[in-house]
Chains A and B, each alone.
Chain A
Amino acid sequence: MADERSIKVDRLSVHYHGQTAIRDITFTVSKGMIVGVIGPNGAGKSTLMKAMLGLEKSKGEVLFFGKKINAIRKQVAYVPQRNSIDWDFPVRVEDVVLMGRFMHIPWYKKTSREDRSRAREALEQVGMQDYSNRQIGELSGGQQQRVFIARALAQDADLFFLDEPFVGIDIESEKIIVELLHQLSKEEKTIFIIHHDLSKVEKYFDELVLLNQTLIQAGNVKEVYKPSFLKEAYRGSAAVINEGNEMVVVGP
């Protein structure tokens, strides 16, 4: 069945205290894609992601490869927005990455040597192995983001959800992360990325979900990343300039 190769979101809605956060969002994404979730501030990007993960009361249905979220939780890696983390927390880089292994360890067992070596491997993949003994608050923004990407890698997940991973990080880190994400996509991992900034959208993503409370358009980047749809989503809060073949997006 085609279901096993795709993620289907069907008429997903979330209401807060009678106010609509997102309404009737429907789209389908196939396995192995890098999906950008874009839209202006308050469009409900994080809400959509949380509703897909079953963390928010919602109406509608979400199927991951034909299964409900609860059946595949161990396969879901989540990278939080950087400002949601307490950077003074007494954990070192290696401790954070090891958390990616927690769901694979039964409660009565200790963390094994394999778990530790998987965590170390993940740290090497993001080029942070030299920092494994640092407290996480001592790192730069980009390094912190790489550590959380390493945690997601250590989880050996099939689905990745990243909430604004490129905000406030250096170019070097951004390059490393983007390369890793493309590599993961080649390994048939599906990646959802909330993205705020409209630049580089075409370079980073295979598919886009463009929303502003309701779905504006979803599908292949080339078909969605068009001035008409962007204007509709941003309603004047971004200027879209069409210059021959090149499109320039200004703001928000």
Chain B
Amino acid sequence: MIENINSFIFQLMNYPYLQNALFAAVLVGIICGVIGCFIILRGMALMGDAISHAVLPGVVIAYMLGASFFVGAVITGVLTALAIGFISQNSRIKEDSAIGIMFTAMFAAGVVLITALQGTSVDLWHILFGNVLAVSRTDLYFTLGIGIFVLGTIVIFYRPLLLSTFDETMAKATGLPVKWIHYMLMLLLSFVTVASLQTVGIILVVAMLITPGATAYLLTERFSVMLFLSAFFGVFSAVTGLFFSVIYDVSSGASIVLVASVLFAIAFFFAPKQGLVFKMLKKPKNETVAP
């Protein structure tokens, strides 16, 4: 193991592409972890999955037009969020079904477009599962820009975000634009998805959004701490996952997600208060807690 770590560090020092990959993965770990906390507590995990899949046609169309794939992704991501809201508000279809309909439709459109473009350099596999080792300097700056924007927005709107997540009716009553906050989060979610495209890919973004946040959720009772812990687990998974990916020559995105999942499993069983093991040990005493 030590040998492997040394080899990883050696490669890291000598190959700029690996340095880019590491920075990009760390950034993605942070922003996914932070946005993910809001997604989890608002019960929007499925929405996160939807938006991340829905950026696919945007990316492909942008590629066809020679435009920035960032713009394309954000447009289709936000359009999907709006369409989901529109369907669930204007028919008897419930939101989870609306999500299921919209995101598969968008994703299918993306796949059709890509297969129609066969022979070009759009690599479906890399968009779907990421290829962090192909991250260029420009990509890295771009990810950094998104990261700063996303974190900045969350710092500025921390209190409205917290209040509207915790108690929507009070947030509305005191005049917060709850609907706009929702769409702002959807926008940030599309940004984050695009930033994560190369690191973990569209399919696995949702894991980076949900798993580190869920792990943090089991470990703390304060929202601010949850944000930091979640970002930390995101970064830890990114670095460790990249390490395994380089040493054993396996998919980077999938290794990162696997590390995050292992962290979750550990917290699930052994978290001091919420862990299954300690809950079972404590059970008889805890039964006095009021409903």
Which of A50, A78, A91, A95 lies in contact with B174, CB distance below 8 A?
A78
Stretch in A18-26, A124-132, A133-141, A218-226 with 4+ CB within 8 Å of B: A133-141
**Contact yes or no, B163 A99, CB < 8 A:** yes
A116 in the interface (beta carbon within 8 A) = no
Are A99 and B162 in contact, CB atoms less than 8 angstroms apart? Answer: yes
Q: Are A89 and B41 in contact (CB under 8 A)?
A: yes
Closest to B157 in A: A107
SS of B interface (majority): helix
Q: Are A90 and B226 in contact (CB under 8 A)?
A: yes
Chain A interface, number of residues (Cβ within 8 angstroms): 31
Which residues of A have CB within 8 Å of B225? 90
B223 adjacent to A90 (CB under 8 Å):
yes
The answer to whether A99 and B166 have CB atoms under 8 Å apart is yes
- Looking at the complex, which of B58-66, B72-80, B214-222 is the stretch in contact with chain A? B214-222
Q: B173 at interface (Cβ–Cβ under 8 A)?
A: yes
Chain B min CB distance to A52 (Å): 10
Asked if B169 and A80 make an inter-chain contact with CB atoms under 8 angstroms apart, the answer reads yes
For residue B291, CB closer than 8 A to chain A, the reply is: yes
Given contacts A102-B163, A103-B175, A138-B289, contact A78 B222 (CB under 8 A): no
- In the complex, what's the smallest C-beta–C-beta distance from B219 to chain A, in angstroms? 9
Which residues between 156 and 181 of chain B lie within 8 Å of chain A, taking CB atoms? 156-157, 159-160, 162-163, 166-167, 169-170, 172-175
Any A CB within 8 A of the CB of B290? yes
Among candidates B163, B170, B222, residue contacting A90 with C-beta atoms closer than 8 Å: B222
Selected contact of B167 from candidates A50, A99, A108, CB within 8 Å:
A99
Contact A141 B166 (CB under 8 A): no
Q: How many angstroms from the CA of A135 to the CA of B289 in the assembled complex?
A: 13
- Which among A6-14, A31-39, A69-77 touches the partner chain? A69-77
Q: CB distance B222 to A92 under 8 Å? A: yes
Which residue of A70, A80, A85, A141 contacts B175 across the interface (Cβ within 8 Å)?
A: A70
In the complex, whether A63 has a CB less than 8 A from a CB of chain B is no
Within 8 A of A (CB), among B130-178: 156-157, 159-160, 162-163, 166-167, 169-170, 172-175
Q: Contacts A90-B217, A90-B226, A102-B159 hold; do A141 and B291 have CB atoms under 8 A apart?
A: yes
Most B CB within 10 A of own CB, among A80, A99, A141, A168: A99
Residues of A near B172 (CB, < 8 A) are 53, 55
Q: Mark A38-61, 1 if CB is under 8 A from B, else 0.
A: 000000000000100101000000
Cβ of A247 < 8 Å from any Cβ of B? no
Contacts of B159 in A (CB 8 A): 102, 105, 107
What are the interface flags for B114-130 relative to A under an 8 Å C-beta threshold, 1 for contact and 0 otherwise?
00000000000000000
Contact B173 A55 (CB under 8 A): yes
**CB proximity of B136 to chain A, nearest CB, Å:** 36
Q: Which A residues lie within 8 Å of B222 (CB)? A: 90-92, 95
- Give the interface centre of B163, B174, B289 by most chain A CB atoms within 10 Å: B174
- What is the CB-to-nearest-CB distance from B90 to chain A, in angstroms, rounded to a whole number? 11
Complex: A31 Cα to B159 Cα, angstroms: 31
Query: A161–B167 Cα gap in the complex (Å)?
Result: 14
The reply to whether the CB of A86 lies closer than 8 angstroms to some CB of chain B is yes
Docked-complex contact A90 and B220, CB < 8 angstroms: yes
* Complex interface residues of chain A between 145 and 159 (CB less than 8 A to chain B): none
A95-B223, A135-B221 given; A89·B166 CB < 8 A = yes
Given contacts A55-B169, A91-B222, A92-B221, contact A76 B174 (CB under 8 A): yes
Task: Give min CB distance, A93 to chain B, whole Å.
Answer: 10
Which residue of chain B is the closest to A138 with respect to CB atoms? B289
Chain A positions within 8 Å of B, measured between CB atoms, are 50, 53, 55, 70, 73-74, 76, 78, 80, 84-86, 89-92, 95-96, 99, 102-103, 105, 107-108, 135, 138-141, 161, 168
30 contacting pairs across A/B (C-beta < 8 A): A53-B173, A55-B169, A55-B172, A70-B175, A73-B175, A76-B173, A78-B170, A80-B167, A84-B169, A86-B41, A86-B166, A90-B217, A90-B220, A91-B166, A91-B221, A91-B222, A92-B221, A92-B222, A95-B222, A95-B223, A99-B162, A99-B170, A102-B163, A107-B157, A107-B159, A107-B160, A108-B156, A135-B221, A140-B290, A141-B290
Other than A102-B163, A139-B290, give 7 A-B pairs with Cβ distance below 8 A. A74-B175, A76-B173, A78-B173, A85-B166, A90-B221, A90-B223, A168-B291
> Which residues does B use to contact A, with CB under 8 Å?
41, 156-157, 159-160, 162-163, 166-167, 169-170, 172-175, 217, 220-223, 225-226, 289-291
